[in-house]
Amino acid sequence: MLETTSPIYARVAATIDAFMMLDITGVGLIGNIYAAAQRRQPGYVCMGAAEIITKTLKEKGGPVLIATGFPEGGGVPETDGPVGAALLARALFLGFNVESVIVVDADWEEMMVATCRGAGLSPMPFPADGVIKPIPFLRPVYIRTVPKDTEGCVRVTDALFAQTKPSLLIAIERPGANVNGLYHGLGGRPLDGMVADLDQLFRKGLDMGLPFIGIGDGGNELGMGVIAEDLPAFSPKAVDCGIPGRGGVGAATAASHLVVSNVSNWGATGIIAALSALLENPIVFHDAELETRCIELCVAGGGVDGMFMAPEPAVDGISTKEWEGLIRTLKATVERTMGNSVNWKGDRGDWRQIK
């Protein structure tokens, strides 16, 4: 494992964070969001998440609970979030041999199953007793669906703590409730009736002392309460969504560690890159072609691009062709940076420490 005192560690951690700050969507928010996160949570964003994941899973094992799913028009889920969740589950299995439970709304199960298959995972039926067990010779992932009504959602999520006993919580591009308990899109549109209340799940997890990594790109995602006080300075709808009595779009629940990036899926890739470097295990970092397949199957399962608002093979307006280039560039950059202290042994080899 890469030593945190190594100069290579600092270089690769800083490089990955620099990639997260690229304004590839042209929206113009990421610089302010990253600066706000640094004021509240100084240090490396992605490598900090990788350290928490590594420490937790080496000490406690799994499973890991990952929540995702953000509704666009008509409540259809967007591609940003589910793709990152599936690829994170893959990385956690290959890096630590632990299983993940991905939590989504009940009407998005087909989309999430297809997305996980695109990521090279085998979605398995959620066990009746809620206990996650290894399956030899398979890369399993479990999808746990929740109803949108509060009572039903609480019943399911309480059982996750009681029976499944996750060691780590991750939310990626999942709507976060504001101080009034209401959910909104970044532009102020209400999401009433479109999403289950998973804030209560993560707040309970925090009360239990579980690490909570939040991944977001706008300020209205679950976990972004870390920068809630900073958002009004640069996010027009943070305090007032434009509808009287509802409050703003800024999320209230704060993650124990926040990862911000220009696109939430890109933040997941940053964590995966950091885990790959920290563990000195290149197999943890997926190839560009796998991400393309993951996006395409997400769309085939019912996902839509959040910019085009249509079943296009894209994420936040960025096509799969562009994503291929971004993934290849980040992966090659990490390899080159790590190459100062290790040997790279082919596309499916290992990094081996030079003595």
Mind listing the pLDDT tens digit for each residue in 283-320? Answer: 999 999 999 999 999 999 999 999 989 999 999 999 99
| Tokens 């398995």, located at residue | 124
- Counting Cα atoms < 13 Å in the Cβ hemisphere of 281 gives 16
Domain range list for the chain? 7-327
- pLDDT band at residue 339 under the 50/70/90 scheme: confident
Q: CATH homologous superfamily for 7-327?
A: TON_0340 (3.90.1640.20)
pLDDT per residue as tens digits for the range 7-54: 899 999 999 999 999 999 999 999 999 999 999 999 999 999 999 999
Asked whether residue 341 carries a pLDDT value surpassing 80, the answer given is no
Read off the DSSP letter of residue 180. Answer: T
Asked whether residue 355 carries a pLDDT value surpassing 60, the answer given is no
Q: What is the pLDDT of residue 344?
A: 41
| Separation CA 351–CA 355 (nearest Å) | 13
Alpha-carbon distance values, 171 to 44, 326, 336 (Å): 19, 23, 30
Residue 163 sits at φ, ψ, to 5 deg, of -105, -45
Percent of the chain with pLDDT over 70: 95
Asked whether residue 149 carries a pLDDT value surpassing 70, the answer given is yes
| Average predicted confidence (pLDDT) for the chain | 94
Asked whether residue 354 carries a pLDDT value surpassing 70, the answer given is no
| Tokens 């209560």, located at residue | 200
DSSP string, 269-293: HHHHHHHHHHTT-GGGSPPHHHHHH
Q: Are 265 and 80 in contact (CB under 8 A)?
A: yes
Read off the DSSP letter of residue 120. Answer: T
Q: What is the pLDDT of residue 340?
A: 53
Asked whether residue 346 carries a pLDDT value surpassing 90, the answer given is no
Stretch 155-180: mean pLDDT, rounded?
A: 98
Residue from 8, 81, 15, 105 nearest 332 by CA:
15
Angle between helical axes of 109-118 and 82-96 (0-180°, round to 10): 50
Angle between helical axes of 7-20 and 264-278 (0-180°, round to 10): 170
Q: What is the pLDDT of residue 218?
A: 96
| Separation CA 13–CA 19 (nearest Å) | 10
